[in-house]
A and B are shown apart, each in its own frame.
Chain A
Amino acid sequence: MLKAPLGVWGMRNIFLFIRRFSTAILFLVLQVVAIWFLITYNKFHRARGLGIANQITGWFNTRYNKAEDFFKMKEENRRVHKMNDSLMNLLAANFARRDSANRLVRDTLLFDTTANRYRQYIYREAEVVYGTVNEEKNYLQINKGSKDGIKDDMGVLNSDGSLVGKVIAVSPNFSEVMSLLHVQNKVSVLVKKTRSAGTISWDAKDPRFLTLKDIPKSDSIMKGDTIITGTYSLSIPPGKMVGTVAEIVPDNSTSFYILRVRTTAKFQDLQQVFVVENLQFGEQAKLQEETKKKIL
């Protein structure tokens, strides 16, 4: 027997095998691709081909949003008007003397030289073009992207200043926001009255309520207490409204409360939002990285 024909027959058998089970092999290949998409995305929140896909879904979502605005703008107007009202009262112009040197400028300077303060947060407005509340992982799409200076990990607030979520993916004209209604989204918050910190998360049940844990029972918590954003986040400014305590779930096994928190932002009719940029984010993140390296 010669060696060469054996090799040729071996190859032939492989080809026959592939041909015979071609559908099953194709099925397995497509399954592996889908699962690979799923696993890599869940880990890093980076979808394959997201940039192009985001542009296309964004186009459809913008069309849809225009129609939806017609029905929902009234409620949004009310919220924005209320916020404007509170801001109008804060304007420096309300208290200014009649002085020719005073003029109103939009404050985007990094340093306020008169009071020796530096600017830490910049707000950009954006419009929500698509969002869901009935999945277990809910995302919002907004109509500002990297062209407008939006970057990953920026915080997102509702038009009334309450917390909505944070940016996780950016394309040139659109961004994806992981809302608080996402089972993997955990945010550090404070009870405003007692200043004790805890972690808030969503249990995928009711889109109106979040769950707050780690508040010790030595605090006296009442229904209706205000929950605000904590001071530990790099992307979300502290002291922003998150929600109010709706229910205190009895749990005798630990010395911590389980609180059901009603969100201030109504996730079903989000329209206009603010994207917050922390100008010190790079420096703070770098310091954290270097600290980790030194410890290791």
Chain B
Amino acid sequence: MSGLLRNIIRFFLFILLQVYLLNKIPPLHQYINPYIYYLFILWLPFNISRANLMFIGFFTGIVLDYFMMTPGIHAAPCVLIAYLRPFVIGILTPKEASEFNYREPSPKAMGWTPYLVYTLILTLFHHGYMVLLEWLSFGSILHFIIKVIATTGISMLLIITTELLFPRKMRFRTNTA
């Protein structure tokens, strides 16, 4: 399966999962809101250009926004994490994109600890910015802090579960290939 087709299918799966499952489950608590759709952006290949990464991020966010009737509130954080992603990868694993033995960021490609730090940092940025935008129209500072922490916690739990349940099959690449 080509990388493009694979990512298009993945995009639909993540959006449908977010809209029809995670946003429909009965609320556990006002602060806990499960989010996983942005994992699509974290899973994009290493060698994608930064401009394309941001366009894809914006598109992902705006599609979810039109489903949720909140234009902008998911698009802005998605663009932010798409912008920050190359920096975070660069700090955690100082390699060139062509030096990775796997196509996409995954526990296998980066190692469990750097991968979890990578997801945690971008999750915090995503939720922090999103809740900040919500908070500007509603809520208090305590509400903001607790909600960022609680939502990040549940998102990390979902990401780890996803990685354990659905290990992606990826080809090992060498420099010659």
Contacts and interface: CB of A to CB of B under 8 A. Distances in A.
Contacts of B67: 57, 60, 130
Contacts of B51: 22-23, 26
Q: Is the interface of A mostly helix, strand, loop or mixed?
A: helix
Q: Give the interface centre of A30, A39, A133 by most chain B CB atoms within 10 Å.
A: A30
B27 to A, nearest CB: 4
Interface residues of A, number: 41
B69 A37 contact: no
Say which size band chain B's interface belongs to: 35 or more
A279 B61 CA distance: 39
A118 interface: no
A132 interface: yes
Q: Is the interface of B mostly helix, strand, loop or mixed?
A: helix
Interface stretch (B96-104, B133-141, B167-175): B133-141
B72 A38 contact: yes
B36 interface: no
Given A23-B50, A47-B69, A42 B137 contact: yes
A207 B138 contact: no
Contacts of B58: 30, 33-34
Contact of B61 (A27, A34, A48, A141): A34
Contacts of B33: 134-135
A156 B61 CA distance: 29
B79 A41 contact: no
Contacts of B71: 37-38, 41, 47-48
A64 interface: yes
Interface string B24-59: 111100100100000000000000001100110110
A192 B71 CA distance: 38
A151 interface: no
A33 B78 CA distance: 13
Interface of A: 22-23, 26-27, 30-31, 33-39, 41-42, 47-48, 50, 53-54, 56-57, 60, 64, 130, 132-137, 139, 141, 176, 183-184, 204-207, 268
Interface of B: 16, 19-20, 23-27, 30, 33, 50-51, 54-55, 57-58, 61-62, 65-73, 75-76, 79-80, 83, 133-134, 137-139
Identify the 3 closest CB pairs spanning chains A and B, nearest first.
A38-B72, A37-B72, A34-B76
